[in-house]
Structure 1
Amino acid sequence: MVTIKVNSLPVDLVILDLAEAFQIPYQLNCKEYHLELTEKVGKGYIKAMMLESGLGIIEYNCQFNMDIEIQFVKDFTHPLKFLYCTKGHFDHRFSNEEQLHDLQEYQQAIVASKDYNGHVIRFQKDQEINLYSLEMDRERFTLHDECASELIKTDLEAIFGDVWATNSFYHEGYYSLALAEVFEDIKAFQDSFFLRYIFMISCGYQLLGKQIVQYQDDLNNEENRHVLRQYEVSKVKEAVQVIKQNIEKTYTISDIGREVGLTDAKLQEGFKVLYKTTVNNYINEVRLDLASSLLRDTNFNISEVVYKIGLTSRSYFSKIFREAYNMTPTEYRNMYLKKS
């Protein structure tokens, strides 16, 4: 295990300590520090940028050739950190504690150390890791008086209001799809360094805002959470396959949710975000697509088509078919018979 001590707090100066420890030169372009790893250390890069109002961001996108432990040990109040693991996994602990927090892909944690205690992050050898650390100097991140008074009324006071770090704080969960989209935007941005700096300021505030929304959602019971987490996206897509492969069955939203392990609310939110529609509307779209194919390409009568697509009412089928195609099922079939 190679141990590196970081004695700097602003995220951009962290790069200077890492560059010295690894004996690697760094680049500075319009407030963004860039450390490209050499073959001796591993591969990939570490980037850092101070933004506004005490906000900064570090991105670790690398794979080390050795086990690495980075100890943030500055004898000062450490920033509030929002850690997001978008690939691989890493360990976190407070410097005055032994308990390790193993953060896996799609997981995030809000961490604040007590007093002048720091943070320790461990990366395993040969582990490809992508970690974003949004960091906030709570003393510099001032709010207007009226906003501060509103903050005191909420559960956010324990996080943002503890300017002098009188208590430690740890909250872990899975980050939302909305947060994942910001990370994808950061990866995709290819413009000039000046525009990147402006863009990153925007991303910093987006991450903070979306994180607050998610944290408040995390405080709800599982069945009452509505914010879609990134790891749940695959479950929504699995639900689509369940619908398509079993369209002849009469599924309720709860049936589908139980099949893939999502609550009704999460399933609805997933379809809203990914497909811009409700679960029932999506089911009807699949049914109508299949019905139109059966009417064109088979000799099934209308009642048989209704059964094949999982409906029991011929009149209801005719109603939704007319709404979608501006003609009855019989007129639709006759139109294609004339064409052929």
Structure 2
Amino acid sequence: MITIKVNSLPVDLVIKDLAEALQLSYQLHCREYHLELTENVGTGYIKAMMLESGLGIIEYHCQFKMDVEIQFVKDLTHPLKFLYCTKGNFDHRFSNEAQVHDLHEYQQAIVASKDYNGHVIRFKKDQEINLYSLEMDREQFALYGECSSEIIKSELNTIFGDVLAKNSFYHEGYYSLALAEVFEEIKNFEDNFLLRSIFMISSGYQLLGKQILQYQDDLMSEENRHVLRQYEVSKVREAVQYIRQNIEKTFTIGDICKEVGLTEAKLQEGFKILYKATINNYINTVRLDLASTLLRGTNFNISEVVYKIGLTSRSYFSKIFKEEYQMTPTEYRNLHLKK
């Protein structure tokens, strides 16, 4: 295993120390530092950029050929870190503690060390990792001056108000779909370096704002949470598969929730974000799509079609069908028979 000691901020020192330890060169383009891994070290890259107001961001998109431990050390208060694992897994611990936190894909952690103690992050060899680290110097963060009284009165004071790092802090969870969308935009942004610099500053504030919303949501009880986590997206898609595979059966939203393990509020939020529809509207869309196929391609009578799509009321079926296609099921079938 190779051990690397780096300074936490500014981020240019992070890249310089990594480059020196790995015997690599780095590039600087309009505030962004870029370290490309070579074949003897691994594959991928590490990027870092100072943004504004004491914010910086480090991106790890790499796979090392050896175990790598990065020790963030400096004789000053360390920044507050927001760590997001979008692929693979890595270990985190505070330098003065033995407890190791193993973070996997879709997980995130808010970490703040006590006093001048640092952070230790370890990557396993041959493990592809995508890790975003948003870092904040709480003393320099400009918004505190205007909003400090509001922060002190809120639950955010625990993490943002401890400017002198009198206490350590660790909060772990799954990052939201909204955060995942920002990571995807960062990864795919390929314009010139000036525009990327402006884009990254904007992205840093987006990440911070969406993270604050999620942290407040994390503090709610499970049944009262409304922010959709990225890992829950797969559960919403499982619900879609369940609906399509069981459309001939009569089921309730509660049945779907039980099948995929999400609350109704979370499932409704997922359908709203992913499909721009309520669950019931989505189910009706699937049923009407199947009904139109059956009317065009089979000899089933209307009552049989109603049964095949999981409904029991022919009048209700005719009503929603006409709302969708501006004609009755019989008119729809006759029209296609003529064609």
TM-score category, normalised to shorter length: over 0.9
Partner of 1:327: 327
SS of the aligned residue for 2:323 comes to: helix
Structure 1 residues 8 and 208, CA gap change in structure 2 (3 angstroms): closer
Structure 1 residues 91 and 8, CA gap change in structure 2 (3 angstroms): closer
Partner of 2:315: 315
- For 2:79 and 2:145, locate their aligned partners in 1 and report how far apart those are by CA, in whole Å: 22
2:82 matched to 1:82?
yes
- For 2:119 and 2:8, locate their aligned partners in 1 and report how far apart those are by CA, in whole Å: 12
2:208 matched to 1:208?
yes
Partner of 1:299: 299
Which TM-score applies when normalising by structure 1?
0.98
Q: CA deviation at 1:149?
A: 1.6
The letter of the residue matching 1:43 is T
- For 2:134 and 2:145, locate their aligned partners in 1 and report how far apart those are by CA, in whole Å: 24
The runs of at least 4 consecutive aligned structure 1 residues that moved more than 4 Å come to none
Q: CA deviation at 1:253?
A: 1.2
The letter of the residue matching 2:203 is C
Which TM-score applies when normalising by structure 2?
0.98
Q: What 5-or-longer segments of structure 2 have no aligned partner?
A: none
Q: Once superposed, what is the RMSD of the aligned Cα atoms?
A: 1.0
2:88 matched to 1:104?
no
- For 1:220 and 1:187, locate their aligned partners in 2 and report how far apart those are by CA, in whole Å: 31
The letter of the residue matching 1:129 is I
Partner of 1:182: 182
Moved more, 161-170 or 135-144: 135-144
- For 2:322 and 2:253, locate their aligned partners in 1 and report how far apart those are by CA, in whole Å: 24
Partner of 2:157: 157
Spell out, residue by residue over 1:39-98, the C-alpha distance to the aligned partner (whole angstroms, 9 max, x if none). 221111111000000000000111111111111111110000000001100000000000
The letter of the residue matching 2:329 is P
- For 2:255 and 2:194, locate their aligned partners in 1 and report how far apart those are by CA, in whole Å: 51
- For 1:233 and 1:171, locate their aligned partners in 2 and report how far apart those are by CA, in whole Å: 22
SS of the aligned residue for 2:143 comes to: coil
Partner of 1:221: 221
Spell out, residue by residue over 1:197-254, the C-alpha distance to the aligned partner (whole angstroms, 9 max, x if none). 0000010001001111111111111111111111111111111111011001122111
Partner of 1:114: 114
- For 2:35 and 2:328, locate their aligned partners in 1 and report how far apart those are by CA, in whole Å: 65
Q: CA deviation at 1:9?
A: 2.3
1:10-29 correspondence to structure 2 within 5 Å: 10-29=10-29
The letter of the residue matching 1:75 is D
SS of the aligned residue for 2:255 comes to: helix
Provide the identity percentage: 83
Q: CA deviation at 1:8?
A: 4.9
Partner of 2:68: 68
1:265-304 correspondence to structure 2 within 5 Å: 265-304=265-304
Whether the 8 Å contact between 2:67 and 2:123 is mirrored in structure 1 is yes
Partner of 1:254: 254
Moved more, 81-90 or 10-19: 10-19
Q: CA deviation at 1:12?
A: 2.2
Partner of 2:194: 194
- For 1:39 and 1:144, locate their aligned partners in 2 and report how far apart those are by CA, in whole Å: 44
- For 1:147 and 1:317, locate their aligned partners in 2 and report how far apart those are by CA, in whole Å: 55
Q: CA deviation at 1:338?
A: 2.1
Q: CA deviation at 1:154?
A: 1.4
Whether the 8 Å contact between 2:8 and 2:78 is mirrored in structure 1 is no
- For 1:55 and 1:233, locate their aligned partners in 2 and report how far apart those are by CA, in whole Å: 29
Whether the 8 Å contact between 2:31 and 2:49 is mirrored in structure 1 is yes
SS of the aligned residue for 1:163 comes to: coil
- For 1:115 and 1:67, locate their aligned partners in 2 and report how far apart those are by CA, in whole Å: 28
The letter of the residue matching 2:298 is T
How many residues are aligned here?
A: 339
SS of the aligned residue for 2:12 comes to: helix
- For 1:199 and 1:7, locate their aligned partners in 2 and report how far apart those are by CA, in whole Å: 25
Partner of 2:336: 336
- For 2:14 and 2:116, locate their aligned partners in 1 and report how far apart those are by CA, in whole Å: 17
Spell out, residue by residue over 1:166-223, the C-alpha distance to the aligned partner (whole angstroms, 9 max, x if none). 1100000011111111111011111100110000001000100111111111111111
